Structure 1
Amino acid sequence: MSVPRRPYALLVALFLLVIGCSAGAVKTAAPRVAAGPGAPSSSSSPVVFTPPREIPGLGPLTRAQIPATARQAVVVTGSGPDLNRSTVVLYTRDDPARGWRPEAGPWSAHNGMKGWTGHHEADDLRSPVGVFGLTDAGGRLPDPGALLPYDEQSRFHVSGEGFLGEPLEGSFDYVIAINYNRTPGTSPLDHERPLGEERGGGIWIHVDHGGPTQGCVSLPEDRMRELLRTLDPAKHPVIVMGDAVALGR
């Protein structure tokens, strides 16, 4: 007796159909999405953050005293706490993100006869340590092109001899008042002492006479002219002054 062929043929046909579909299947990759503008690239280098440049030699306590608005800083670094020789560098901070950069100097300078102090008193022959504003200038000679308010006065005349016997004549031809125990916005000759007379005053940057000072900072005359033409009240200049150890705190 013969077996009907149709069910068997149908089963084979279905099997071949399944095999054929599997063999002919095509695997497609997931579509790649183009990176939009600003999207990170796997091949790009990582972004490295560069902190703003700080003024060399200044410690965190000193840096904290510099106002955020200051964009010019005259840095006077004493050779030692009891020494009267120092170095001056002018720094500028035009771009806060980049920090401070040296603009002029280093220049040799003199400071107080007995060095530096964190608590200046009248006639102690030491220069005060700290950060002070620079807002006013003047001198016996005509204005050399100062950007700070300049008070030309014959009363800036000085005579006599310094500690080393050097003549003091011409020391106040150009001066910049340091805002220690004084009222900003007045002539360097102003005698008001907000902290009291016992705390001294009349601390200036002035023309060097070849020897130590009573508490001021002194620079050669050509450097004084350069400083007067550079310090800009719109940049809120300050002076950072003291011996290296004190400034490093």
Structure 2
Amino acid sequence: MYGFRCVAAVLPAMCLALAVSCAKKPTAPAAPPSPAAVARPAPAGLDDLARVHPLDHSRQLVLVVTRDYDSITGVLAFFERDGDGAPWRQVIGPFPVTVGRTGLAFGRGLHGHGPSLPGIPAKHEGDGKAPAGAFALTMGFSYDPKALGFSPKMPMHHVTADTICVENPDSRKYNMVFDESTAGPADWSGPDRMLRADGLYKNGLFVAHNTDPVAPGAGSCIFIHSWRGPDSPTAGCTAMEPGRVAELLRLLDAAKSPVMVQLPREARDRLAGAWGLPDMAAPGL
């Protein structure tokens, strides 16, 4: 998010439909029916969001909560459960994260396209906001996967100097991560290069925002990645201490259809019952 805006990925390493550029600015195997593949209409308000079930078939949850839509910081906790309807168990967290430099706005994900109400922003390209809602976590990435010290259970993209994410809405590669040398004639400019000197994307995860289908201009390149510090927001990603990123990569398992739910506190409270969100004690929120 410092150099990307955070991400959504599609399994083929060649062309991952994701959100990946948090600064300037990351699919599970075919299991019965994957929630990431279900297209839903745009709901009119938070009450309509309560009618969708973005955590169906998911056994892993990354829950991020901020104070309000304008907050640039929040907390994250990771939960697991044994099956649909089973109680969530908190595994790690809560711990601090930073989000977009202008807060949160509802994005496009497993919840649909987000509410359309006064005072509730909708995410669009270049707004500096991290996406609110529910999103599949489909792929991890690393500059050196072998250096992690464990074998991730997520599909992994090995990032090289050739790896980019495109933020130009009129490009055929908009909101995709791929290796530039394999992509054919370029119809993009100034792509986000994932191999960064500052190491913010040394390890991370693609967040499947605006991927099914990709809507030009609705926001691109959304990741979970390392932060510059606890007071440094991103351009649209969710960032944290580098060790926490590696910890999530160790815990997440594509076979368990992991989902990230990211919401301001008020929306979390409104949707907790309908979505089956677990409690997360977080002082200050």
Q: TM-score range by the shorter chain?
A: 0.5 to 0.7
Aligned to 1:139: 142
What is the Cα deviation at residue 141 of structure 1? 2.9
8 Å CA contact 1:129–1:246 kept in 2: the answer is no
Question: CA RMSD of the aligned region, Å?
Answer: 2.1
Could you tell me the percent identity over the aligned residues?
28
Unaligned stretches of 5+ residues in structure 1 = 1-58, 160-168, 184-192
**Is 1:181 aligned to 2:210, yes or no?**
yes
Unaligned stretches of 5+ residues in structure 2 = 1-46, 107-121, 162-193, 271-285
SS in 1 for 2:152: coil
What is the Cα deviation at residue 64 of structure 1? 4.0
Deviations 1:65-102 (A, max 9, x none): 32321000100101221010010000111144541121
Aligned to 2:30: none
Deviations 1:91-134 (A, max 9, x none): 11114454112111111100001111122101101111110000
SS in 2 for 1:154: coil
TM-score by length of 1: 0.64
Deviations 1:112-160 (A, max 9, x none): 011111221011011111100001111223342321111112232225x
**Is 1:237 aligned to 2:258, yes or no?**
yes
Structure-2 separation of matches of 1:218 and 1:100: 24
Q: Larger C-alpha radius of gyration, 1 or 2?
A: 1
Alpha-carbon distance change, 221 to 63 in structure 1, aligned in 2, over 3 angstroms: farther
SS in 2 for 1:239: strand
8 Å CA contact 2:56–2:84 kept in 1: the answer is no
Count matched residues. 172
Highest RCO, 1 vs 2 (Cα 8 Å, sep ≥ 6):
2
TM-score by length of 2: 0.56
Aligned to 2:227: 208
Aligned to 2:158: 152
Choose which of 208, 214, 219 in structure 2 pairs with 1:194: 214
Q: Which has the higher helix share?
A: 1
Aligned to 1:171: 200
Structure-1 separation of matches of 2:90 and 2:128: 30
Aligned to 2:247: 226
What is the Cα deviation at residue 175 of structure 1? 1.4
What is the Cα deviation at residue 218 of structure 1? 0.6
Whichever residue aligns with residue 142 of structure 2, its letter is G
Aligned to 1:45: none
